[in-house]
Amino acid sequence: MLEITLSAPRPLDLIPEEIPLDIVYEDADLLVVNKPKGMVVHPAPGHETHTLVHALLHHCGDSLSGINGVKRPGIVHRIDKDTSGLLLVAKNDAAHTGLAEQIKVHSLKRQYEAVVYGNVKEDEGIVEAPIGRNPKDRKKMAVLSPGQGTSREAVTHYQVVRHLEGFTQLSLKLQTGRTHQIRVHMAYLGHPVAGDPVYGPKKVITALQGQCLHAGTIGFVHPVSRAFMEFHASLPEYFTAFLRKLRER
């Protein structure tokens, strides 16, 4: 016998904040937001305010899905604090469910741009290496053996955009979406993302203030209209400034 007690919905205790948002697209069911580098997606220890969720609450009011709980209203997926680029936000539970299913079956298109250390010799390639919680450091992720610990399938496709002095610019597509996937996979290849303070070399490029990684393209089937939609976000200034500096070398 299994007994389940459903608790009453918790009231939302987050205070909306008037923070400017770069909204690429919006309708009655969803938003596509271009998140700036340095913004945390949802509240977490050490980041209780000034998050994307606080900004969304001010912009959308009560029109956000509740599937991910009171701390993550509307959040279908996330990108790291110091990764810039496009995020999907659901305004209702039906839209959230439809978008989450696309993520589950790997049909959501997510393309990133990055600058990594070293000369990536192959013009293109696929990294197929399971990712899980690092057994030696619980705050980090790592490539693990299949079935080891919390390992889950992780697949990243990459293509060289251009070679630079000591670095390579890449275009990457996520087949799966594990925590820190691109950062872990690139470090696993011996080409960590430039500026990455966690998976990169100890001597970090502090001027980048985090990894040089941008979620530039997102494509999905609209959960209500069923039309395929694709959006793009240009490379931000921190990224293009770093490219200019490398080309000047």
Q: Which contacts of 93-101 are long-range, i.e. CB under 8 A and separated by 24 or more positions?
A: 93/65, 93/66, 93/67, 94/29, 94/223, 94/224, 95/29, 95/30, 95/65, 95/223, 95/224, 96/65, 96/67, 96/68, 97/67, 97/223, 98/221, 98/223, 98/224, 99/30, 99/220, 99/223, 100/67, 100/76
Active site (annotated) includes residue 22: no
How far out from the chain centre does Cα 115 lie?
A: 16
For the record, the structure tokens of 222 come out as 């609209």
d(C-alpha 240, C-alpha 234), whole Å: 10
d(C-alpha 154, C-alpha 141), whole Å: 12
Backbone angles phi, psi at 100, to 5 degrees: -65, -35
Backbone angles phi, psi at 152, to 5 degrees: -135, 150
Active-site annotation holder among 22, 29, 80, 137: 80
Residue numbers annotated as active site: 80
